[in-house]
A and B are shown apart, each in its own frame.
Chain A
């Protein structure tokens, strides 16, 4: 009916009824025509007020968590992200090294053997580590999942597959005590475990997490294994124990997984 306001000076009453009738017909047929879309995103910043009702609902949950989360464990020299670094990242190196350092004594005590190297997954680094105090919460944010350390015995053929997988993936999956150099076409130039070339007769003890062992990220080389050792040690607890032992965290991007560019 508002159409009238636009045209009333040009129309007689008969036309008006006709238009009204057609409009009515149109709405009966649910004739709604999309003619314009406007899209944007609104940042949730601190300029927005918090809704008090929501905030007070969260409060008891938050306070209970805070009691458990705020213990200071170490100090981080910088902010580290899994996005910084091409084939290895400082934060990934820290996590893989922590898994080696914290798990190997347990593995050694139980089996008399040592972990040869560690492989985790890049996607398993769930947050940055911010510059400043590292608290219990930091470990929960880096590793919120309840995944645990497992040690898988792999023959050299499977280790070779593992290295080929990493070369194909071109991703900074965290490793420790394994060194891989790729050529400019992402072929394998060289690979070392604990600074030694692969030994075809050796069985390697590879520490990883149960997510990857069970087929996560299609790391299928873990399926053909000689033996599995379940340490019942959550990766998050590895980090908590590691942080507690260190005063200062200053991980670096190094040469453990690199590509020769020319």
Chain B
């Protein structure tokens, strides 16, 4: 009965890709659900857009995001809240308070982890460092080498979480800074190749850390159709394996729904980005079961 409802629901609502587990049974208590919530490029948009705004009237706002996140966490305590960078810069809140309020509010919303966007260097690497005490969450980046900077030891390549016995590994990737950010702002930060960094991270998270779920928190940008050689989330998706979800940023890309991509092994995975300015919250639910049969024919992705 339940299975029929499920298929009807998806056929009506959206595309159902690679329906694995044809022997899908009714939900049992052994089934676990991990919810990943995400934002990107909020750019200091703390208040909602006003009613007079020419494009995003009455959208966004941290206080509204907070109540939505509360409701989702209430429904599923096994939730992670992530941000893909460019927290800073875009409203006078940043010019006046230097990012303090952004970090304080994200801490009040219980953000679990973020990566660093190019604009997070806008008050220089020292300005970012100065605000770190206000952040009750950590930052990850696997391809910015901060060893010769003030951020040394303050940013790790990845972080793991265990929720309901499910081990989740999250690593960060940042965009190339040369030509994008003034060198005097990022100082001795070294940019490393994102694909190589991702390959190393996925090996560590899959083999050494034995993660059940691997997430890449990226500020590389969704896709560069004019410059296909440039690394992007879509390109990274196809050249790596074991990543279940790439949460992107930088290009302020509004997607109707998350993009399903094939990884290097031909397996389906997701790339998502939710535009900018806190107008949307991304929500990706991962369902796990101890019963191997359910995943034997691949993972079904409903977007």
- B272/A35 in contact, CB under 8 A: no
Bound-state CA distance A26–B30 (Å) is 11
Q: Which of B57-111 contact A (CB under 8 A)?
A: 58-68, 70, 89-97, 101, 104-105, 108-109
Min CB–CB distance B268 → chain A (angstroms)? 8
Pairs A-B, 3 closest by C-beta atoms: A79-B54, A50-B63, A130-B54
- B108/A37 in contact, CB under 8 A: no
24 CB < 8 A contacts A-B: A2-B30, A3-B28, A30-B167, A31-B290, A32-B212, A33-B290, A33-B291, A33-B292, A33-B294, A37-B244, A37-B245, A39-B270, A39-B282, A54-B105, A57-B104, A58-B101, A69-B92, A130-B53, A140-B91, A141-B91, A144-B95, A210-B182, A214-B184, A216-B182
- CB < 8 Å: which of A23, A48, A57, A214 contacts B105? A57
Bound-state CA distance A132–B183 (Å) is 38
Interface residues on B, range: 35 or more
Bound-state CA distance A192–B130 (Å) is 47
A residues contacting the other copy or chain, number (CB 8 A): 62
- Asked if B280 is at the interface (CB within 8 A of a chain A CB), the reply is yes
- A55/B301 in contact, CB under 8 A: no
Chain A residues whose CB sits within 8 angstroms of the CB of B182 once the complex forms: 210-211, 214-216
Q: Which of B27-63 contact A (CB under 8 A)?
A: 28-30, 32, 44, 46-48, 52-55, 58-63
- B295/A33 in contact, CB under 8 A: yes
Interface residues of A (CB under 8 A from B): 2-3, 6, 23, 26-27, 30-46, 48-55, 57-58, 61-62, 64-65, 68-69, 79, 81, 126-132, 137, 140-141, 144-146, 170, 210-211, 214-218
Min CB–CB distance A22 → chain B (angstroms)? 9
A211 and chain B: residue at smallest CB distance? B182
Known: A36-B301, A37-B286, A145-B89. 14 other contacts (CB 8 A): A23-B30, A32-B212, A33-B294, A35-B24, A35-B287, A41-B282, A46-B59, A49-B67, A52-B63, A54-B105, A58-B47, A65-B93, A144-B44, A214-B184
- A32/B62 in contact, CB under 8 A: no
- B303/A35 in contact, CB under 8 A: no
B269-289 near A? 1/0 per residue, CB < 8 Å: 010101000111111111111
- Asked if B122 is at the interface (CB within 8 A of a chain A CB), the reply is yes
Min CB–CB distance A118 → chain B (angstroms)? 20
Min CB–CB distance A79 → chain B (angstroms)? 3
- Asked if B21 is at the interface (CB within 8 A of a chain A CB), the reply is yes
Known contacts A38-B284, A126-B90: A32-B257 contact under CB 8 Å: no
Min CB–CB distance B6 → chain A (angstroms)? 9
Q: Which of B227-276 contact A (CB under 8 A)?
A: 244-245, 255, 257-258, 270, 272, 274
B157-176 near A? 1/0 per residue, CB < 8 Å: 00000000111000000000
B282 and chain A: residue at smallest CB distance? A41
Min CB–CB distance B9 → chain A (angstroms)? 11
- A35/B295 in contact, CB under 8 A: yes
Bound-state CA distance A60–B287 (Å) is 42
Q: Main SS of the interface on chain A?
A: mixed
Min CB–CB distance A243 → chain B (angstroms)? 15
- Asked if B210 is at the interface (CB within 8 A of a chain A CB), the reply is yes
Known contacts A6-B28, A34-B212, A51-B70: A46-B58 contact under CB 8 Å: yes
- Asked if B302 is at the interface (CB within 8 A of a chain A CB), the reply is yes
- Asked if B299 is at the interface (CB within 8 A of a chain A CB), the reply is yes
Chain B residues whose CB sits within 8 angstroms of the CB of A33 once the complex forms: 288-292, 294-295
Bound-state CA distance A32–B31 (Å) is 9
- CB < 8 Å: which of B67, B92, B105, B213 contacts A50? B67
Bound-state CA distance A43–B64 (Å) is 10
B48 and chain A: residue at smallest CB distance? A46
- Asked if B178 is at the interface (CB within 8 A of a chain A CB), the reply is yes
- A30/B165 in contact, CB under 8 A: yes
- CB < 8 Å: which of B58, B60, B63, B122 contacts A51? B63
